[in-house]
Amino acid sequence: MAFKVEDLSPTPGSRTSEKRIGRGIGSGMGKTATRGHKGQGRATGKVAARFEGGQTPLFRRTPIKGFKNRGAVVYATVNISTLEERFESGSEISPEILVQRKILKDLKDGVKILARGELTKSFIVKANAFSATAKEKIESAGGKAEVI
């Protein structure tokens, strides 16, 4: 027996009629329209999730620890060892190239070169900041450290 579109119907009991609220006493849902009597939420039916019945709320009871310096400069850091692995001798390295080669995801407030690792190749490195040791290592390997 083949099914026909016109013979399809929902399973009995799966489709119920909509509650008709506030449509008179005979409906059984008139007068208060299923909202109950008086009470805090009678006007809007809602109380904020953070409300604790007048008790001092949790966010005011917990102490504030530390602070965040909004004027701080946050650098994306790269070590000399990474430059040694990923670049050929004589390369020019800039923040844009570091992002392009997926060494850095985000430049933040600039790039700072740090001194971890040994350097045998010479590079022309352009960055926003260098640690003193990193600058020394780059120049002793015959490279150049330029502050942007």
CATH of the domain at 126: 3.100.10.10
Judge whether 130 and 148 are in contact, CB under 8 Å: no
Residue 88 in domain: yes
Residue 44 in domain: no
Residue 87 in domain: yes
Token reading at 44: 């809007």
Residue 18 in domain: no
Helix (H) / strand (E) element for 119: namely none
Residue 2 in domain: no
Residue 29 in domain: no
The single-letter code of the amino acid at 8 is L
DSSP 45-62: S---TT--TTSPPHHHHS
Residue-wise pLDDT for 68-121, tens only, equals: 999 999 999 999 999 998 988 888 999 999 999 999 999 889 999 999 999 888
Residue-wise pLDDT for 21-50, tens only, equals: 999 999 999 988 888 887 777 666 678 888
Residue 54 in domain: no
- Structural domain of residue 128, as residue ranges? 76-147
* Structural domain count, the chain: 1
Residue 95 in domain: yes
